[in-house]
Chains A and B, each alone.
Chain A
Amino acid sequence: MTDIHEYLAEFDDIPGTRVYTAKRARQGYHLNQFAMSLMKAENRERWKADEAAYLDDWPLTAEQKEAVIARDYNRMLDLGGNIYFLSKIFSTDGISFAEAVSTMTDMSFPEYREMMNNGGRPPEGNRSIKGGY
Chain B
Amino acid sequence: MARITAGVASSHVPLLGVAVDQGKTGDDYFAPIFAGYDWTRQWEEEQAPDVVVLVYNDHASAFDANIIPTFAIGCGESYKPADEGWGPRPVPDVEGHADLAWHIAQCLILDDFDMTIINEMDVDHGLTVPLSMMFGTPAKWPVKVVPLAVNVVTYPVPSGNRCWALGEAIARAVESFPEDLNVQVWGTGGMSHQLQGPRAGLLNREWDNRFMDMLVGESDEARWIEHIEYLRETGSEGIELVMWLIMRGALGPATRCLHRHYHIPCSNTAVGHMVLEPVA
Among residues 91 to 133 in chain A, which have CB atoms less than 8 Å away from a CB atom of chain B? 91-92, 96-98, 101-102, 104-106, 112, 115-117, 119-123, 126-128
Q: How far is the CA of A2 from the CA of B14 in the complex (A)?
A: 34
B202 on interface, CB distance cutoff 8 Å: yes
The answer to whether B64 touches A112 (Cβ under 8 A) is no
A67 on interface, CB distance cutoff 8 Å: no
A58 on interface, CB distance cutoff 8 Å: no
The answer to whether B15 touches A85 (Cβ under 8 A) is no
Q: Count contacts on A: residues with CB < 8 A to the other chain.
A: 58
Main SS of the interface on chain B? loop
The answer to whether B267 touches A29 (Cβ under 8 A) is no
Asked if A33 meets B66 with Cβ closer than 8 Å, knowing A17-B197, A123-B207, the reply is: yes
A82 on interface, CB distance cutoff 8 Å: yes
The answer to whether A14 touches B196 (Cβ under 8 A) is no
B268 on interface, CB distance cutoff 8 Å: yes
The answer to whether A20 touches B153 (Cβ under 8 A) is yes
By a CB distance below 8 angstroms, the chain B residues around A91 are: 84-86
The answer to whether B85 touches A101 (Cβ under 8 A) is no
By a CB distance below 8 angstroms, the chain B residues around A128 are: 232
Q: Which of B83, B154, B197, B228 contacts A104 (CB 8 A)?
A: B197
The answer to whether A85 touches B65 (Cβ under 8 A) is yes
Residue of A nearest to B193 (CB): A120
Asked if A119 meets B203 with Cβ closer than 8 Å, knowing A20-B155, A87-B59, A92-B85, the reply is: yes
Given A39-B84, A115-B201, A126-B199, list of 15 further CB < 8 A pairs?
A: A7-B156, A7-B227, A14-B231, A20-B155, A28-B65, A33-B64, A77-B196, A83-B195, A97-B268, A101-B200, A104-B200, A105-B200, A112-B201, A121-B202, A123-B233
